[in-house]
Structure formats: structure tokens, C-alpha cells
Amino acid sequence: MKALLIVAHGSRRPASNDEVQALCERLQKEKTAEEFALIRAGFLDLAEPSIPEGVAQCIQLGAGEVVVLPYFLSAGRHVSEDIPAEVEKARMSHPHVEIYLAPYLGSSPGIGGLLLALAEGCGKDDGSSG
């Protein structure tokens, strides 16, 4: 069984962490992700579970493979160093499980399309100009 751990930075503001949890729950419920029987949230800092904790939870629930995906927009130190280091810790703790690191969200070629979809139609009789 394959699990997906979507890793956000984590915030002192609980609503921001809840947003990531809700996204994972929605993806899990929609069952569009045939490859992943389990979709969970993890956090680099300031919220729980941490990346090693999140990976461990997936394994406890039966995952034999875990994909860790950084929910980040830019390839800064968190994406290039901190998250890979946490993934490496998880690999050391679970040598029998395959733990992969997916590309970070901001690297997706589809981001531009989402931005245009959000922007198009703004100002067309929607009163959003305040």
C-alpha cells in the first residue's frame, strides 16, 4: 500500500495548518488518487505531525511505500535541504520501507494555468473592486 504525505511549512496560526489537513482529507475522500490509499499531512515546523512522525503514521497504517511531497511554492532552503534531511531521517528509521521525495508544488507546470483560471473573469460584474 502506497501513501502520500503532503508536507507544508507549518504555522503558528492553526487555521493555516487546518487548511492543509482539509486538503488532504478532501483528496483522500475524493478517491481520485488511485495510486494512494492513504493521503496525510505533515509539517516541517511549528505543527504536528513532523515529517518522520507522518511517515511513521503511514507505515503504522500499512504503507509499504511513502511519497513525501513538499507543499511549497519556491525551491528555497526548506525544499532543497531541510525536507530532504527529514526524509533521510525517516529512511534511516524505516529501512524496509521505500520513501520517495516528490517535486515541490511550485515546480508543477500546471501552476500557471491555475493562476490564470483564478484571475480570469475578475472584475466582470462581481463587485470585487471594492
Positions in the binding site for its own copies (CB under 8 A) = 2, 4, 6, 8, 11, 13, 15-16, 19-20, 23, 26-27, 30, 32-33, 35-36, 65, 67, 69, 71-77, 88, 91, 98-103, 105-108, 110-123, 128-130
Judged by beta carbon, residue 60 or residue 112, the one nearer its own copies is 112
Judged by beta carbon, residue 61 or residue 73, the one nearer its own copies is 73
Beta bridge partners of 36: none
**Contact present, 27 and 20 (Cβ < 8 Å):** no
- Strands of the sheet containing 38-43, edge to edge, are 38-43, 2-8, 65-70, 98-101
Comparing CA positions, the residue from 43, 40, 34, 49 lying closest to residue 16 is 43
Judged by beta carbon, residue 61 or residue 75, the one nearer its own copies is 75
Angle at 95 between CA 91 and CA 99, to 5 degrees: 45
CB-based burial label for 118 (10 Å; 0-12, 13-18, 19+): exposed
Q: How far is the CB of 35 from its own copies (least distance, A)?
A: 5
Question: Nine-digit cell at 16?
Answer: 493555516
Q: How far is the CB of 50 from its own copies (least distance, A)?
A: 18
Q: How far is the CB of 110 from its own copies (least distance, A)?
A: 5
Judged by beta carbon, residue 21 or residue 57, the one nearer its own copies is 21
Q: How far is the CB of 111 from its own copies (least distance, A)?
A: 7
